Chain A
Amino acid sequence: MEKKFTFLALLSFMFTTTFFAQNQIVSGTVKVAEDNMPLPGVNVIVKGTSNGTVTDMQGSYSLEVPPNSILVFSAIGFVSQEIEIDGQEELDVSLVQDTESLDEVVVTALGISRNKKSLGYATQEVEGEDLNLTNQQNVLGTLSGRIAGVQVTGSSGASMGGTQKIKIRGVNSINGGDEPLIVIDGTPISNSNFSGSAGADYGNLAQDINPSDIESVNVLKGPAASALYGIRGQYGVIMITTKKGKKGPKDVRVQVNSSLMLEFAGNFLPKQNMYGGGSSQTFRTLANGDPYVDLSVDESWGPRMDGTPVRQVFSFYPQDPTYGQLTPFIPHPDNIENYYETGVNLNNGVTVSGGNENTTYRLSLNDTRIEGIEPNTELKRNNLGVNASLDLAENITVSTNINYARNDAQRPGQGSEYGVAYFNQWFQRNLDMTRLKDYMYDDGTILHWNLRRPNSDTGEITNFDPLYWNNPYFNAYENLSNDSRDRFFGDVTLSYNILPELEIRGAIRSDMYTQNIENRTAFGGTGLPAYSVGKYQNKEWNYELLAQYNKKFGDISLDGTLGGNIYNRNYSYLSQATVGGLSAPGFYNIDASIDRPSTTSYKLEKQIRSLFAMVSLGYLDTYFLDASIRNDNSSALPEDNNSYWYPSVSGSLVFSELVNWEVLSFGKFRASYAQAGSDLSPYRTTVAYGVGTVYNGVNTLYVPDNLNNPDIEPSFSHSYETGLDLQFFGNRLGLNFTYYKQRNKNQIISLDVSGASGYGSSTINAGLIENDGIEISLSGKPIQSNDFSWEAIFNISQNKSEVVELAPGIDVYNYGSTTYSSVSSYLNSYEGKPFGSLVGQAYQRDEATGDILVDGNGMPLYTDSTYDFGTVLPDFTGGFQNTIRWKNLSLNAMIDFQGGGQFFSRSKMLGVRTGQDPLTVATNENGMNVRDPLEDGGGVLVTGISAETGERVENFVDARSYYRNVLGRRIYEEWLYDASYIKLSEVRFGYTFGTKTMEMLPFDSVNIALIARNPAMIWQNAPDGIDPSAISTGSQSISWYESGQLATVRSYGINLNITF
């Protein structure tokens, strides 16, 4: 609520031109009559003038006024009061809540402020304060669960600002690329992502927004809300408004916000601790009879770890103190946990804000330093924000928002074969991680654990090059991945009130960044030494001109907007990588490339020119009708077919104005229809050839795998939405309900086609994907008293998608595939089914009984990789946000949840395949270990129907063959998990110092809080060690399989907030 008060305050000072600088000072506190709580953000104005102020966090105000004037106290949702000063120097006021009015103002598309009750579509806002409870780096991540219909898929905190993906109202494009537009103070900014699906996760670029600058976030969920964004708004818009300085008597406010958090790795995949590295339960022996651990096998199907003295990997290094020695073969149960460190996250911010009668300003500075939970990983981020406005004349204001962000990071790798996550997949349970930590001997020899076997004659290892995996510490300290980014975004806006009811606003908006990415592969590990470097530059400019007309004619109100926009994007990059190795150790430079380095230079230009208009009519403050239209011309579309129109219409009826039912404080019915569109990236409509390998001076060219299309059209979505907004009992209980249906037609997709056509895919207009769903948001204040209050918001949304049609003759769209050990799995969309089916190998089953079929050896039979396991999308998502205040204490807790959805876990599968999972040492029905020989009663019991005889059979089969070659490699059905979860994502327990204490301190307010981020997974259906809420893999827009997920990070810390 506070945000709206201050916003109105700001509006109310728009016309401030004069100021009486004299006379007496009056001060006091404004409280809520009902509960005596201090009320911040109340406008205090000297009647008949524009002289005034706004109450602070403690509800206090102080104002210089002429004697005998009248003060007007007003705030949204409260009945205004006028009080004569009559010489008083202290004046405390209690405001009574106004159950009748709900004149909340919200910022809608293009920054147009609208009365919330006039809107014919759903909007849901989140206060900046709620997004900054625990100092998260990535603002999109904090939206999880806070807005009905918005799904956020996160990634592990170990990436430090890793990818947070946001989907609004289901998946609305067949290729999954339906990212909403992000707009900050009216400026659209890039939310690109430079990560691949594996390697370092650099995160989405919206993380450059400083969360503590955010005043509020408003999500425009449907095309009706975002219609004015035309071709850029088909998938919704996230509108962020930043905090501003306040006009009024000269006032400087300084706020310091510091937090220190410790971060811990948690949620490890369980491991067995009985059998060590190798492929056979008997040790191999050297010529002298000494048993040794099979270093060449990166699995744990070896001998029992019973303490037998053996030659372990360290004993083969002549430089090692244990060289030639036998040491006990024992488990190291915590070897994986031992790798992780305690991370530190230190965040310091300062803001200075204020203003006088014709200027406002706010300056913010933020510094974030994170040392990650993986060794030698870190992130440094600096944000600088400046907002200012200046009234050039009575009716002309110039304002600007300028933001600068700098990121500098050294990040861990993720994914199957990157970084260290492999040790959940391929490792030996006997390895002592603490011994691996010193990865380099004094003479420079690198200590690895995965080597060729020793020569059986000499018992020596001569080649210390690692086979498949590096020592994880070598990866962490030598194979570095660095990235940095400098970014500016902001605007300069000039607004001119030609008439009181007519404003013209012009703005120049820009977002520009330079991203650097560098990767090293060092000498002494797997793979050729290599170095790659890329510099990516993006510049987006928006030139905008807008005229707004607001006038009331009796009972009729008219809001009109007319405007135009030119959008220009220039993007270029230069990326280079060495080929064939490096010329000298430690010389990481393209000049060190042994062979012709690979280089790419790229540039891109795109322009969209737009015109738009909107009219909104209101009658009796009860009936509202909106209509808008936008015309977009995109340079990325074919020349003679590049201009498109996007209309919308919406209406609302505030029926609480018509009925007189005391319980109902507010009631509105709304409905809307809109069309929105989206285009494609440039250069997809004409033919170009690929540049191939240069052979001995012959430059080769090739026909690319994707067939471009000169007849492409923008995609269109038609959306219908209807809903109810209700407030009961003096706004203590609120319910928002929305039903929507969105039909996304003519999607621009790169459709996989039969490669025999000569092309792997073709850019086409195809398909119809339909989403319909409901969103419910319940808000309430179950307890509200002087000392104690509880506010809660509960959001839930359900979405159903259906791929109604694809292209003629095509009934499957392949979104992605992954192949491991020659076994593929797919994410496909089938005509007539929900978006995104997981497809892979399943058990072959007996038709009659549904039991699995087994072969002559008793092993389960499996299908081809064509079995459809159903959609990956969740049935419902939501969140439960709580704020409890007791005296000076406050407790905030955020819970988010998801029901349904599924994914493959390759980490779990490989843990089983490589004999690391506890499943592989289970006790069988004979009371024996499954790894014991079959003749001794060991083995895994497999029951099923024999495919040959049709008889029911029960067989014990060899555990290693079963888990390693069949289950852990081929039967994806076993590794499919439900993605449902309930997660406690944020907790803040704060104390605000009372007035008495504050009087002794030179501060206006001090708040100290214990904060916890991601403290607990309350419930999940997937097995321990896998976090279903963080299966984001880099920039993949749909999360459908987990592989090499980074460790879960739990953070606990303290936050101090001082205002003076």
Chain B
Amino acid sequence: MMKKIYIILFLALAFQSCDNFDEDININPNLPSQASGTQLIANAELYLPGLSSSPRGEFFAQYLAETQYVGTSLYPQESTSFYSYYQGPLENLQTVLNNQDNLSSTEGPVNNQVAVAKILRAYFYWNVTDRWGDIPYNEALMGSENFTPSYDTQESIYLDLFEELKEATSIMVSGSISNDIVYDGDMENWRLLANTIRLFMALRLSEVDPDLAQAEFADALDDGVIMENADNLVYYHLAEANNQNYWYGQIVDRNREWWALTEKLVTEMLPYNDPRLQVYGDPARASDAYVGLRFGEEEAIGTEEYSLLGSDIYAQDAPVYLVTSAQVYFAIAEAVSRGWVAGSAEENYNMAIEQSIMQWTGSDAGVTSFLNQPEVAFDSSNAIESIANQRWVHLYMHGYEAWSEWRRTGFPAGFESPNGAEIPLRLSYPDNESFNNSENYEEAVSRQFDGEDLIYGQVWWDQ
């Protein structure tokens, strides 16, 4: 007995001085050390609905008003973090692009994996720069090589994104990729999406650089854009809790009936029997009629007296519309009106509304009678505004995009200014950038906004 213990102890000691452990002792057995390109891309795609599903975006576009605890809709000066876009989808996509040489062609042609990663990366960057202004770009996503990336100007980012998107379509080859939860690997869809993003980006420059805007717009249109709802960039949530709609989690799971349609939205739709209204919202419970809540109202609020979100909007598996053919037709209508491209502004305007009603209601019933109303019909004397107004109705629940279009065009007019607070013009940078990346942060703020990182600073294209 005693001897045995001694033997064990001495054996133990014999290994003592040895610093060679089992080779894999410090390899994490709980997580994969390899990731395929398409699995990383798929994870980045999970972030797509987050670009749209946010109360703040809806408040900036004044689609929704708060029924209780009115606060965020009063446009307080506060910072908003962009870190999750970099740490989430962008870093996943960057990892795919950094590892191009090691991507496996068993999941589809490597070129196509790279193309999709580039398109998605460009799409996320575009959204981020439109909201915040100058952002880290060239020095971003470098991990330990640069923990304090500098901020690039929005102008340079736009120029680079045009090129990135063109390159993405140029390297595409035939063959689909796997694990694509958005387009099921269909490269033609990705090609159309890349060109459509360019089209919208070009339009965004209508005020700051009309020549560049026109050239890029015509170029993108030539290359082929999304002309049918079937090709839209739509994120389909699933009817299960792991992949459910943000609004379902809030309204059903958490019993938060915090949002009503705004008075403005109802006023723009109800008088014209807009067939989309029954999808957008429900009649108020108290009166069984569509009643909008004045945006920024703090006293006369409640959940019974106003129209809340429609059940299709907060369904667990509701789709999130991100890049749509209706927007394309609105864009073409506007480009025609601006004289950038040839065509009929009115036809494109009508087509846009038809596509929108089809998208939201699933049928074209009521389109003609809707368009026949003088208040709805295209007004060529006031083309930009009538396009912008109907585009705003179409972009419902994609508040950030509608807000960007409002910043660019100034339409629709007549938004509320709660307690005198105007609609913000950008998001303030994350406040921890002032700790984590202070020099670059301060430089970016002084370069663009005179040193004040406020929500009323104007981004480059918003001039």
Q: Which residues of A contact B (CB under 8 A)?
A: 280, 296-297, 392, 396, 398, 452-453, 455-457, 465-467, 492, 494, 506, 508, 526-528, 543, 545, 564-566, 579-581, 594-596, 598, 601-607, 609-611, 631, 633, 635-639, 642-643, 682-683, 685-696, 698-705, 707, 709, 752-760, 762, 809-812, 814, 817, 821-824, 826, 828, 864-866, 965
**Per a CB cutoff under 8 Å, which of A691, A705, A812 touches B436?**
A812
Tell me which residues from 5 to 48 in chain B have a Cβ below 8 Å from any Cβ of chain A.
5-6, 8-10, 12-13, 15-19, 21-23, 25-36, 39-40, 42-43, 46
B389 interfacial contact with A, CB 8 Å:
no
Bound complex: CA of A605 vs CA of B146, how far in Å? 32
Given A611-B16, A754-B436; 18 other pairs, CB 8 A cutoff: A396-B2, A508-B5, A543-B12, A565-B16, A598-B242, A601-B30, A603-B30, A604-B30, A609-B17, A609-B18, A633-B19, A689-B32, A696-B238, A702-B43, A703-B92, A756-B141, A864-B431, A866-B434
Q: Is the CB of A757 within 8 A of B142?
A: yes
Cβ-closest 10 pairs across A and B: A755-B83, A580-B241, A758-B91, A756-B136, A683-B28, A700-B43, A688-B31, A754-B437, A506-B9, A633-B19
**Per a CB cutoff under 8 Å, which of B25, B39, B91, B304 touches A759?**
B91
Q: Name, among B23, B26, B149, B254, the residue most crowded by chain A CB atoms within 10 Å (CB to CB).
A: B26
Q: Name, among B35, B72, B84, the residue most crowded by chain A CB atoms within 10 Å (CB to CB).
A: B35
Q: Is the CB of B242 within 8 A of A686?
A: no
Bound complex: CA of A610 vs CA of B19, how far in Å? 10
Question: What's the nearest-Cβ distance from chain B to residue A909, in Å?
Answer: 15
Q: Is the CB of A700 within 8 A of B304?
A: no
Bound complex: CA of A824 vs CA of B78, how far in Å? 10
| 6 A-B residue pairs with CB within 8 Å | A635-B25, A696-B238, A701-B40, A756-B83, A758-B140, A762-B144
Residue of A whose beta carbon sits closest to that of B178: A698
Q: Is the CB of B86 within 8 A of A821?
A: no
Bound complex: CA of A429 vs CA of B87, how far in Å? 45
Q: Is the CB of B87 within 8 A of A821?
A: no
Bound complex: CA of A358 vs CA of B22, how far in Å? 43
- Answer whether A603 and B142 are a contact pair too, CB < 8 Å, given A693-B243, A758-B90: no
Q: Name, among B29, B36, B435, the residue most crowded by chain A CB atoms within 10 Å (CB to CB).
A: B435
Tell me which residues from 119 to 156 in chain B have a Cβ below 8 Å from any Cβ of chain A.
135-136, 140-144, 146-149
Question: What's the nearest-Cβ distance from chain A to residue B134, in Å?
Answer: 12
Return chain B residues, CB-CB under 8 Å to A611.
16-17
Q: Is the CB of B33 within 8 A of A692?
A: no
Q: Is the CB of A566 within 8 A of B91?
A: no
Question: What's the nearest-Cβ distance from chain B to residue A548, in Å?
Answer: 15
Q: Is the CB of B25 within 8 A of A494?
A: no
Bound complex: CA of A866 vs CA of B15, how far in Å? 53
Bound complex: CA of A398 vs CA of B42, how far in Å? 61
Bound complex: CA of A617 vs CA of B446, how far in Å? 66
B229 interfacial contact with A, CB 8 Å:
no
B373 interfacial contact with A, CB 8 Å:
no
**Per a CB cutoff under 8 Å, which of B6, B26, B148 touches A686?**
B26
Return chain B residues, CB-CB under 8 Å to A709.
144
Q: Which residues of B contact A (CB under 8 A)?
A: 2, 5-6, 8-10, 12-13, 15-19, 21-23, 25-36, 39-40, 42-43, 46, 68, 71-72, 76, 78-79, 81-84, 86-88, 90-92, 94-95, 135-136, 140-144, 146-149, 179, 181, 238, 240-244, 253-255, 257, 285-286, 299, 302-305, 430-438
**Per a CB cutoff under 8 Å, which of B31, B32, B140, B242 touches A756?**
B140
Bound complex: CA of A453 vs CA of B17, how far in Å? 73
Q: Is the CB of A696 within 8 A of B144?
A: no
Return chain A residues, CB-CB under 8 Å to B434.
866
Q: Is the CB of A689 within 8 A of B34?
A: yes
Q: Is the CB of A759 within 8 A of B148?
A: no
Bound complex: CA of A691 vs CA of B26, how far in Å? 19
- Answer whether A686 and B253 are a contact pair too, CB < 8 Å, given A700-B43, A702-B92, A757-B147: no
**Per a CB cutoff under 8 Å, which of B39, B144, B241 touches A581?**
B241
Question: What's the nearest-Cβ distance from chain A to residue B430, in Å?
Answer: 7
Return chain B residues, CB-CB under 8 Å to A752.
432, 435-436
- Answer whether A564 and B71 are a contact pair too, CB < 8 Å, given A694-B242, A702-B88: no
- Answer whether A596 and B13 are a contact pair too, CB < 8 Å, given A605-B25, A702-B40, A762-B147: no
Residue of B whose beta carbon sits closest to that of A756: B136
Q: Is the CB of A692 within 8 A of B46?
A: yes
Return chain B residues, CB-CB under 8 Å to A683.
26-28, 30
Question: What's the nearest-Cβ distance from chain A to residue B142, in Å?
Answer: 6
Bound complex: CA of A864 vs CA of B450, how far in Å? 17
- Answer whether A701 and B43 are a contact pair too, CB < 8 Å, given A456-B304, A689-B32, A758-B86: yes
Question: What's the nearest-Cβ distance from chain A to residue B143, in Å?
Answer: 6
Return chain B residues, CB-CB under 8 Å to A826.
432, 435
Q: Is the CB of A456 within 8 A of B286?
A: yes
Residue of A whose beta carbon sits closest to that of B238: A696
Q: Is the CB of A682 within 8 A of B12?
A: no
Question: What's the nearest-Cβ distance from chain A to residue B110, in Å?
Answer: 18
**Per a CB cutoff under 8 Å, which of A564, A639, A701, A705 touches B87?**
A705
Q: Is the CB of B435 within 8 A of A828?
A: yes
Return chain B residues, CB-CB under 8 Å to A609.
15-19
Q: Is the CB of A527 within 8 A of B253?
A: yes
Return chain B residues, CB-CB under 8 Å to A701.
32, 35-36, 39-40, 43
**Per a CB cutoff under 8 Å, which of A456, A643, A696, A705 touches B305?**
A456
Q: Is the CB of B141 within 8 A of A688?
A: no
Bound complex: CA of A703 vs CA of B84, how far in Å? 12
Return chain B residues, CB-CB under 8 Å to A824.
431
Question: What's the nearest-Cβ distance from chain B to residue A490, in Å?
Answer: 15
Return chain A residues, CB-CB under 8 Å to B15.
566, 609
Bound complex: CA of A18 vs CA of B92, how far in Å? 76
- Answer whether A809 and B34 are a contact pair too, CB < 8 Å, given A467-B255, A609-B16, A692-B46: no
Q: Is the CB of A691 within 8 A of B87?
A: no
Q: Is the CB of A682 within 8 A of B255?
A: no
Q: Is the CB of B12 within 8 A of A688?
A: no
Q: Is the CB of B9 within 8 A of A699?
A: no
- Answer whether A809 and B148 are a contact pair too, CB < 8 Å, given A456-B305, A527-B253, A757-B143: yes
Q: Name, among B13, B68, B141, B244, the residue most crowded by chain A CB atoms within 10 Å (CB to CB).
A: B13
Return chain A residues, CB-CB under 8 Å to B90.
758
Bound complex: CA of A633 vs CA of B21, how far in Å? 9
Question: What's the nearest-Cβ distance from chain A to residue B323, in Å?
Answer: 19
**Per a CB cutoff under 8 Å, which of A581, A635, A704, A965 touches B21?**
A635
- Answer whether A822 and B78 are a contact pair too, CB < 8 Å, given A755-B87, A756-B437, A865-B431: yes
Bound complex: CA of A642 vs CA of B31, how far in Å? 23
Return chain A residues, CB-CB under 8 Å to B71.
821-822, 965
Return chain B residues, CB-CB under 8 Å to A456.
286, 304-305
Q: Is the CB of B253 within 8 A of A635?
A: no
Bound complex: CA of A700 vs CA of B95, how far in Å? 14
Return chain B residues, CB-CB under 8 Å to A822.
71-72, 76, 78
Question: What's the nearest-Cβ distance from chain B to residue A666, in Å?
Answer: 40
Question: What's the nearest-Cβ distance from chain A to residue B238, in Å?
Answer: 6
Bound complex: CA of A466 vs CA of B16, how far in Å? 61
Return chain B residues, CB-CB under 8 Å to A686.
26-28, 33
Q: Is the CB of B9 within 8 A of A543?
A: yes
Return chain A residues, CB-CB under 8 Å to B140.
756-758
**Per a CB cutoff under 8 Å, which of A452, A604, A631, A637 touches B257?**
A452
Return chain B residues, CB-CB under 8 Å to A689.
31-35, 40
- Answer whether A595 and B240 are a contact pair too, CB < 8 Å, given A453-B304, A564-B16, A864-B431: yes
Question: What's the nearest-Cβ distance from chain B to residue A729, in Å?
Answer: 49
Q: Is the CB of B26 within 8 A of A695?
A: no
Return chain B residues, CB-CB under 8 Å to A705.
87
Question: What's the nearest-Cβ distance from chain A to residue B446, in Å?
Answer: 16
Q: Is the CB of B141 within 8 A of A758?
A: yes
**Per a CB cutoff under 8 Å, which of B76, B91, B302, B436 touches A753?**
B436
Q: Is the CB of B30 within 8 A of A755?
A: no
Q: Is the CB of A755 within 8 A of B82?
A: yes
Q: Name, among B43, B181, B243, B434, the residue most crowded by chain A CB atoms within 10 Å (CB to CB).
A: B43
